[in-house]
Amino acid sequence: MTGYSVTSQPSRALSPEPFPERVSAVQLRQLLRAGACSATAVTTWYLERIAALNPQLGAFNRVTSQLALEQALTLDTARRQNPSRPLDQLWGMPLGHKDLVDVAGVPTTHGSRAFGSSPAQQDDPLVAQLHRAGAVCLGKTQVPEFGLSGHSENLIADPARNPAAPTYTAGGSSGGAAAAVAAQLLPFAPGSDAGGSIRIPAACCGIVGLKPGRGRIPADMAAVRMAAQPAATASKAGTAAQTGLAAAQAAAAALTLTAQGPLARSVTDAAMLYDAMLGDATEANLWAVRRGSSQSLRIGVSFASVFTSELDIQVAPEVIRAVTDCAAALRELGHRVQFVDFDYLSGYYPAFENFWQWNFAQASFAPSAIAEFTPYAQHSYRRGQQLSVTQFQTAAERLRKIVADAIKQWQEFDAVLTPTLNVAPRPVGFFERADPAQNFRLQCEAMPYTSVFNVAGWAALALPVPTHSYIFESDPPTTATPVGVQLAAPSGQETLLLTLGANLESILSGDKIPGQEPSL
């Protein structure tokens, strides 16, 4: 397929039909299943909203209107022809996919000028799974070049902006997805997270983001196996250099940082998309969140960061108040809450920087392609190329040691509560204007709480705190973005995090705690 283009002009004013503007993803699915609106009507409504708002937000760098309407029409036609057939899990639900993953018939740019406009031949495994579940693809969401940054800016399209304060970043690397969800250009969206790339934009935009534990999403396991394949091939070759590289690649595969997960405006909506990403037709997480839980948990609350020994980590007063209030709310819910100053081993920052940049440099690019990179991507790639296999192995081993010691401390608790970000979202262009050699450091100082859970392979949930906001006086008329907190637990405890997050979300918003909800 070809011919899908960027929607750049606002269309006619949006109609409130076929559903209320602030409808949740769960409610939208109920309307679709009940036949109150068609997949085509829902797709058209969202495409019109994207056309009206995306030019100001930059959430999408490519809107696939033709593809979306074809998919929706196919769904509606099949339903008319066989009305008794059960509907798939995400039947008619609009989604956008990060421009780091392939959607058949649509170019994948990775946010870089180094890639051409040739359409992908097939869907990425998770994209294919969500499409089989009945989701409709509205387009590709904005990302930083190669997903390297905690902000979504590149040289091929407008930056993803914060819907609440448009001169500020929407975060990254799932910044376009988070902006789209926060502005209701999508009901929810899949994201990916290698160092905070779901949770950082969720915190910036005031929405919910779940990074599952390592290997929890079936499509992520395929990526781990692919990462290990070069190591196995090199190992069989037998030379000392190849064997050393094989060992390094095996270490990289064992410490795979990336996990795919949902971004949504509520924990309930996030649970529904997470179940679909798992391929769980029973929707165990959605039902667990709806039922709620009265289980009393041990929760450790901390402002400590693994970066503290090398970087100047300052925590904004708004963040301190938000975390403290969440701790009080958790006590009100019956949990045993303890503030703790985790004592992390030193050396995390240089080890993480070396690990990150060496992995990026394992991709092969022609000099002409590297010349098209942003200055930050060029610096990261060239520095990664300068690192030896021994330096990488030393970094990987240091990270293992640090997180092993951290896990011993965290495991005294059922869950750990930290800030998501320690400061307010930065203005658009803040990091890209910096010296490329200092860019990574600046990002780590502004986002010091997320990456350690990627290295540890733990699950982590970003949750907005609506009772606290950062105020941006230069951005009227909407000048506040919520402060976010992060709940973390071992891989496999995603249901615990979602249930705990839903209870906390309810008490912070003044709603009743989940439980005894009407059937879906």
Q: For the chain, what is the domain count?
A: 1
Of 147, 164, 143, nearest to 483 by C-alpha is 164
Tell me the C-alpha distance between 364 and 3, whole Å.
Answer: 29
Of 104, 99, 101, nearest to 70 by C-alpha is 104
- Is 98 catalytic? The answer is yes
Angle at 190 between CA 406 and CA 2, to 5 degrees: 140
Helix (H) or strand (E) holding 210: strand 208-211
Helix (H) or strand (E) holding 483: strand 480-489
Strands lying side by side in the sheet with 259-264: 188-193, 259-264, 208-211, 459-471, 480-489, 415-419, 298-301, 336-339
CA distances from 170 to 167, 309, 435, 508 (A): 9, 28, 21, 23
Q: Which one is catalytic: 112, 149, 173, 266?
A: 173
Domain-embedded: residue 255: yes
Q: What are 225's two structure tokens?
A: 């196996």
Q: What are 263's two structure tokens?
A: 């971004």
Q: What are 222's two structure tokens?
A: 């395929």
Domain-embedded: residue 5: no
pLDDT of 117 reads 86
Tell me the C-alpha distance between 138 and 96, whole Å.
Answer: 5
| Helix (H/G/I), strand (E/B), else coil: 181 | helix
Domain-embedded: residue 145: yes
Q: Which one is catalytic: 149, 174, 197, 266?
A: 197
pLDDT of 9 reads 30
What residues does 463 pair with on adjacent strands?
485
pLDDT of 241 reads 58
pLDDT of 106 reads 97
CB atoms closer than 10 angstroms to residue 473: 6
Q: What are 176's two structure tokens?
A: 């376009």
| Helix (H/G/I), strand (E/B), else coil: 318 | helix
Domain-embedded: residue 1: no
Q: Which one is catalytic: 38, 65, 98, 211?
A: 98
Domain-embedded: residue 295: yes
pLDDT of 4 reads 29
Instruction: Outline where 58-154 has alpha helix (H).
Output: 65-81, 125-132
Tell me the C-alpha distance between 135 and 265, whole Å.
Answer: 18
Domain-embedded: residue 349: yes
- Is 173 catalytic? The answer is yes
Q: What are 244's two structure tokens?
A: 């050393």
pLDDT of 512 reads 59
Domain of 308, in residue numbers = 25-224+246-509
Residue tagged 């007063």 (tokens): 317
The pLDDT profile of the chain, 520 residues, written as one tens digit per residue, is 232 233 323 233 333 344 556 799 999 999 999 999 999 999 999 999 999 999 999 999 999 999 999 999 999 999 999 999 999 999 999 999 999 999 999 999 999 999 988 999 999 999 999 999 999 999 999 999 999 999 999 999 999 999 999 999 999 999 999 999 999 999 999 999 999 999 999 999 999 999 999 999 998 876 555 555 544 444 455 565 566 777 777 777 778 999 999 999 999 999 999 999 999 999 999 999 999 988 999 999 999 999 999 999 999 999 999 999 999 999 999 999 999 999 999 999 999 999 999 999 999 999 999 999 999 999 999 999 999 999 999 999 999 999 999 999 999 999 999 999 999 999 999 999 999 999 999 999 999 999 999 999 999 999 999 988 998 777 666 678 889 999 999 999 999 999 999 999 999 987 755 543 433 3
pLDDT of 8 reads 29
Domain-embedded: residue 237: no
CATH code for position 112: 3.90.1300.10
Domain-embedded: residue 4: no
Residue tagged 């899990």 (tokens): 89
Helix (H) or strand (E) holding 469: strand 459-471
pLDDT of 385 reads 97
Tell me the C-alpha distance between 148 and 110, whole Å.
Answer: 10
